[in-house]
Structure 1
Amino acid sequence: MLLSPLNWLVHISSSLEWGVALVMLYRYGRLIGRRDIRRFALFMLPHWIGSWFVLFYHITGDTIMRLLELSEAINLVGSIALLYATLKILQGEEKREAKPRTAFMGALFGGVMLAAGVDEPGYSFLMGKSWFDAVLQVSSVVYLTFLVLLLRVRKKDPEAFSSLTVAGFWFVLVFISVTVVCMYVAIHVLGYQSLSHNDFLHGFAESLLSASNLMIALGIHKQHKLAERQLRA
């Protein structure tokens, strides 16, 4: 296996943090009696499952590429699920104001523009160089659309998510950006076969995902405690 014990700890912690956040959010939804929040929590499951496929991929020494491809496909399903769950939350908030379709189209446009901003020469924006690249591109647009809508949810319905949780979801973009940079340095500057072959850079990049998931979990914990105090009052 390519990963050191410390790097394994970071990877496993990252996955566990997402799972804990999922359970905490579901419990929070039950506490405040909101089905849409519980639905959102359940729709976090695909991303959690996808993270374990990545772990299995590393267990094989990064030799079974199909596991990594499956994780990305599952993450695409997860991003679509989170987008749908967010739309359902907005639907409840905006039914007295405007159709959530307007918010969705605006967010989709924002997601496409953000994704287009990271396009590279010789790289097809819509399809990439393979079906795997296409999945990554579509997943990026869907997730970015979800993030834009999440900001709207935070503004319209502050009970749903704390600002720290929203920041945690957005911090994933930092993780992705740093991972891309670390991958470039590891492969093109230091001459490694892949990012996984440089334990320090790999662990550093993964620690940012762990930080993101921790922010999400802590934000949910904060929201849960606030709701408990309000119910006691």
Structure 2
Amino acid sequence: MHALSIPTWMVHVSSVIEWIAAIWLVWRYGERLNNPAWKGLAWAMLPALIGAMCACTWHFFDNAQRLEWLVTLQASMTVVGNCTVCVAAAWIWRRSRQGMKPSARSTPNAADQS
């Protein structure tokens, strides 16, 4: 546990807590809107949380050589998490576009311009 200073540990732990809170808030928002796309975003955020927990675990054990596989898992979860959040954001965007009514665009005629 000596691999990181106390202030660095505070940042690591608070970041994990904030991410958990963000997942919970996104889930609640999805429930409130009754929109499964937002709940999908909450699920999509989980790989990044797993990656953060891998990093904290590795540091907790003083960056032990025998746990170096956690570094690879953390990096993999970061990539997977970035991809899943991207897909979830696209899903939210598509659903929001479906809910929008088409604008009533018409070409102006000569009577409208005067």
Q: TM-score, normalised by structure 2?
A: 0.76
Report the equivalent of 1:47. 48
Which of the two has higher C-alpha Rg? 2
SS in 1 for 2:62: coil
Could you tell me which residue of structure 2 aligns to residue 205 of structure 1?
none
Residue number among 56, 73, 77 corresponding to 2:76 in the alignment: 73
Shift, 1:95, TM fit: 4.7
Is the aligned partner of 1:92 residue 2:95?
A: yes
Equivalences, count: 97
Q: 1:30 to 1:95 in 2, by over 3 A?
A: closer
Return the letter of the residue paired with 1:73.
S
The superposition leaves residues 196-226 of structure 1 with CA deviations (integer Å, 9 ceiling, x where unpaired) of xxxxxxxxxxxxxxxxxxxxxxxxxxxxxxx
Query: Offset at 1:27?
Result: 0.5
Q: Please report how far the alpha carbon of residue 96 of structure 1 lies from its aligned counterpart in structure 2 after TM superposition.
A: 8.2
Question: Take 2:94 and 2:62, find their aligned partners in 1: how far apart are those partners?
Answer: 45
- Separation in 1, partners of 2:13, 2:90: 30
How many angstroms apart in 2 are the aligned matches of 1:91 and 1:6?
Answer: 41
CA distance in 2, matches of 1:75, 1:89: 21
Return the offset for 1:87: 1.4
Structure with the bigger percentage of helix:
1
1:51-108, CA deviations, whole angstroms, 9 ceiling, x for partnerless residues? 00000111122233221111010111111111111111122234589xxxxxxxxxxx
Gaps of 5+ in 1: 98-233
Q: What SS is found at the alignment partner of 1:91?
A: helix
Displacement after TM superposition at 1:20 (Å): 0.5
How far apart are the structure 1 equivalents of 2:89 and 2:61?
A: 36
Aligned residue in 2 for 1:8: 9
Specify the SS of the correspondent of 2:31: helix
Identify the residue that residue 32 of structure 1 maps to in structure 2: 33
Any residues of structure 2 matched to 1:197-216 within 5 Å, and which? none
Q: TM-score, normalised by structure 1?
A: 0.39
Distance 2:14 2:88 in 1: 25
Identity fraction in percent: 27
Q: Residues of 1 paired with 2:12 and 2:89: CA distance? A: 27
CA RMSD, Structure 1 to Structure 2 (Å): 1.8
CA separation in 2, counterparts of 1:61 and 1:41?
A: 31
Mapped to 2, the partners of 1:42 and 1:2 lie a distance apart of: 31
Residues 1-233 of structure 1: pairs in structure 2 closer than 5 A: 1-63=2-64, 64-95=67-98
Bigger CA drift: 34-43 or 3-12? 3-12
Q: Distance in 2 between matches of 1:52 and 1:27?
A: 23
Please report how far the alpha carbon of residue 50 of structure 1 lies from its aligned counterpart in structure 2 after TM superposition.
0.7
